[in-house]
Amino acid sequence: MSESSSKKRQIHVPILTRVEGEGALNIVLNQKSIERVELNIYEPPRFFEAFLRGRSHNEVADITARICGICPIAYQMTAVQAIESAWGIEIPVSVQRLRRLMYLAEWIESHGLHIHLLHAPDFFGCDSGLELAKHNPQAVQRGLKLKKIGNHTLEILGGRAIHPISLAVGGFYRLPRPEELHALIEDFQWGLQASIEIARWVGGFEFPDFHSPTTYVALQSQLEYAIMSGNVASSDGRLLATTDYEDAFNEEHVSHSTALHSRRKGSEEPYQVGPLARIHLNYDLLCPTAKRIAEELKWRLPTFNPFHSIIARALELIQAFEEGLEIIKTFQPSGKARQDYQPVEGRGCSITEAPRGLIYHRYDLDSDGKVKTAKIVPPTSQNQRQIEQDLYEALPTLLDFDDAYVAQNCEKLIRNYDPCISCSTHFLKVRRIHKKD
Amino acid sequence: MQRLFVGIGSHQGDDQVGWLIVEQLKRRGNIAADFRIISKPLDLLDILDNCEELILVDAADGCENDMVYFWKWPTTDISSPVSRGTHGFGLVEALILADELRLLPTNVIIVGIPVNQFAALQPIQSKTVASIEKFVSTLEATYA
């Protein structure tokens, strides 16, 4: 795992554990100075943006859902909203609320799993969720029940839990009956109480005293805790419309990763997306119970401790269940499941908040409604530079320890971001090489 | 529910063979059981209520072709590839967790279907499709 010489020290973690997908960590130290810190993503790029070219707009949700098995709704929802924006399709409020419930269900599943099986073990000195299950089976079972509730909600709204099929450009292929949704009330009531318990649990964890400067970036809305619409806000005060995203952000290749790195144009500094960013930029619009519990925990913002992301996820679980319960109880179907529309040549884009953070889709469509070009920016590629910065910040405090300890603590830092490496390997630009005759 | 067949897979090439076999078993109706398909092994823990016998059908890499393999859990003869499964919870890890949480029935059989193509967004190979009938018949002969 490491090679030591009199000057250089290399620490290599070949396979990061308790993250989704395949990645490695490579650290090169020259005596006490840090020469290199690289989050090596070696999953093969998936070329989804190329697959989408020439496809009907009706296929885009199905295809993009397969980018990620953990958060298919984030991809599907952002895709259909982008196409709807190209064609001026307005979705009725009742359908928007069902879509929001669908998205909240994905948050429930993702956050519940990450908190209990991937992140919490780090706070108990456990190597895995399996080990945590030996010491605290009730906590792990609680996390699994949350995942089950999220899955079940997606089955009802999406037609199935594996790559849901009901989301369509213009609305849904089918609306649920009220009684189908009302059957979820008991689970959501349980989930709300469980989430409060979880927030109190994680709020009592012992957090490393670690600080890494960052700029938080997330959707922000004046009306609600932003998930599916809003402007792109930054904690440094910048605010821009979704349509201006590509004017402000860029993706670039790095030699040590098959995943692109995102960067704000004109800045060398990294930025952070995800639950901590959302909480910072939308705190006032958290539901009453989530705010009450945040106050109870005496959790103060701003925080630049990425380990606090587990608190942010727990508060978002409360948000998801409290808001989800309200949507379920008040749902009354009205109007059509799917709005009529006419494809025209044009461009549309959308940004939503996947469990891991901001996700951007842009499509150029022809007059037959086929995709000409596509651009998809997932959350994990946006956090990679921040992750590497966190490692740079932490390493000086770890250098006196052995390699295994250094590696273990670096992995813990990475897990704060719940990276979905499989999503982030989505694209390579092919450079044409002209050969001379 | 007493006997439960679960097909595990994904849309990556031949990795969907477990789904196709379990769906075919259900359609043919020759085995008295419940039938489910999942993509994330951890989802297994959601569906074990009242299960007394669990038969998992999954694509297996590293086996001889044209044979159906049976392993009785617990076993160390199989492992989960690092790149598959959710967050490092492949099938083996999910079974260990289910065991730890006392969710598993006493009789758990893992059925391995030999395949060797797992590319993302690739269709299942025609030779694998052609073998499904044979694999289904083997399972019916064993469990009907």
B61 in A contact zone (CB under 8 Å): no
Q: How many domains does chain A have?
A: 2
**pLDDT profile of chain A (437 residues), mean per 10:** 61 75 79 82 69 94 83 94 98 96 96 94 92 95 95 93 89 95 97 98 96 96 96 96 95 78 89 97 97 96 97 98 97 91 97 96 97 91 90 89 88 88 42 30
> Residue A300 is encoded by which pair of tokens?
């103060």
Per-residue pLDDT, A42: 62
Is residue B25 situated within a structural domain?
Answer: yes
Q: Which among A352, A377, A393 is positioned nearest to A261, based on CA atoms?
A: A377
Is residue B69 situated within a structural domain?
Answer: yes
Parallel/antiparallel/unpaired status of strands B53-60 and B107-114 = parallel
Give the closest-approach CA distance of B103 to chain A in angstroms: 10
CATH for B65: 3.40.50.1450
Phi-psi region of A3 (alpha: psi -120 to 50; beta: other; left: phi over 0): beta
Is residue B106 situated within a structural domain?
Answer: yes
Is residue A261 situated within a structural domain?
Answer: no
Is residue B144 situated within a structural domain?
Answer: no
Is residue A84 situated within a structural domain?
Answer: yes
Per-residue pLDDT, A435: 31
State whether A195 and A288 are in the same domain. Answer: yes
State whether A209 and A316 are in the same domain. Answer: yes
State whether A32 and A168 are in the same domain. Answer: no
- List the single residue in A20, A66, A140 with the smallest CB-CB distance to B87: A20
The CA–CA distances, whole Å, from A132 to A79, A137, A139, B13, B105 equal 37, 7, 8, 34, 22
Q: Which of residues 100-119 of B touch A (CB under 8 A)?
A: 100-101
Parallel/antiparallel/unpaired status of strands A231-234 and A217-220 = antiparallel
A426 in B contact zone (CB under 8 Å): no
A69 in B contact zone (CB under 8 Å): yes
Distance CA A268, CA A262 (A): 10
Q: Which of residues 68-87 of B touch A (CB under 8 A)?
A: 82-83, 86-87
Distance CA A151, CA A184 (A): 12
B45 in A contact zone (CB under 8 Å): yes
Per-residue pLDDT, A45: 54
Distance CA B118, CA B59 (A): 10
Angle, CA of A196, A378 and A429, to the nearest 5°: 170
State whether A218 and A303 are in the same domain. Answer: yes
Give the closest-approach CA distance of A437 to chain B in angstroms: 36
Is residue A260 situated within a structural domain?
Answer: no
B120 in A contact zone (CB under 8 Å): yes
> Residue A223 is encoded by which pair of tokens?
């009306």
> pLDDT tens-digit profile of B86-139?
566 788 889 999 999 999 999 999 999 888 776 666 788 888 888 899 999 999
> Residue A349 is encoded by which pair of tokens?
């884009």
Helix (H) or strand (E) holding A352: strand A346-354
Is residue B135 situated within a structural domain?
Answer: no
Give the closest-approach CA distance of A18 to chain B in angstroms: 5
Give the closest-approach CA distance of B126 to chain A in angstroms: 21
Contact assignment for B121 to A51 by CB distance below 8 Å? yes
State whether A197 and A238 are in the same domain. Answer: yes
Q: Give the list of residues 6+ apart from residue B75 with CB closer than 8 angstroms, or none.
A: B110
State whether A25 and A151 are in the same domain. Answer: no
> pLDDT tens-digit profile of A184-242?
999 999 999 999 999 999 999 999 999 999 999 999 999 999 999 999 999 999 999 99
Number of residues assigned to chain B: 144
Angle, CA of B99, A14 and A119, to the nearest 5°: 50
Angle, CA of A213, A309 and A275, to the nearest 5°: 95
Distance CA A274, CA A313 (A): 9
Contact assignment for A113 to B101 by CB distance below 8 Å? no
State whether A367 and A387 are in the same domain. Answer: no
Report the greatest alpha carbon distance in chain A.
74
Q: Give the list of residues 6+ apart from residue B97 with CB closer than 8 angstroms, or none.
A: A129, A130, A133, A140, B42, B45, B89
Contact assignment for B46 to A134 by CB distance below 8 Å? no
State whether A180 and A307 are in the same domain. Answer: yes
Domain of residue A31: give its range: 8-45+383-435
Contact assignment for B121 to A141 by CB distance below 8 Å? no
Domain of residue B93: give its range: 3-118
Is residue B139 situated within a structural domain?
Answer: no
State whether A131 and A226 are in the same domain. Answer: yes
Got the DSSP string for A268-335?
-S--B-SHHHHHHHHGGGS-HHHHHHHHHTT--S----GGGHHHHHHHHHHHHHHHHHHHHHH----S
**Residues in a beta bridge with A252:** A261
Give the closest-approach CA distance of A394 to chain B in angstroms: 24
ipTM for the complex?
Answer: 0.86
Per-residue pLDDT, B121: 64
Q: Does the bond joining A302 to the residue before it have cis omega, within 30 degrees of 0?
A: yes
Q: Pick the residue from chain B with its C-alpha nearest to A51.
A: B121
A147 in B contact zone (CB under 8 Å): yes
State whether A322 and A361 are in the same domain. Answer: yes
Q: State the count of interchain CB pairs (< 8 A) between A and B.
A: 69
Which residues from chain B sit within 8 angstroms of residue A144, using beta carbons? 42, 45-46, 101
Q: How many domains does chain B have?
A: 1
Per-residue pLDDT, B33: 96
Per-residue pLDDT, B10: 81
> pLDDT tens-digit profile of A324-361?
999 999 998 888 999 999 999 999 999 999 999 999 99
Based on its alpha-carbon atoms, the radius of gyration of chain B, rounded to whole angstroms, reads: 14
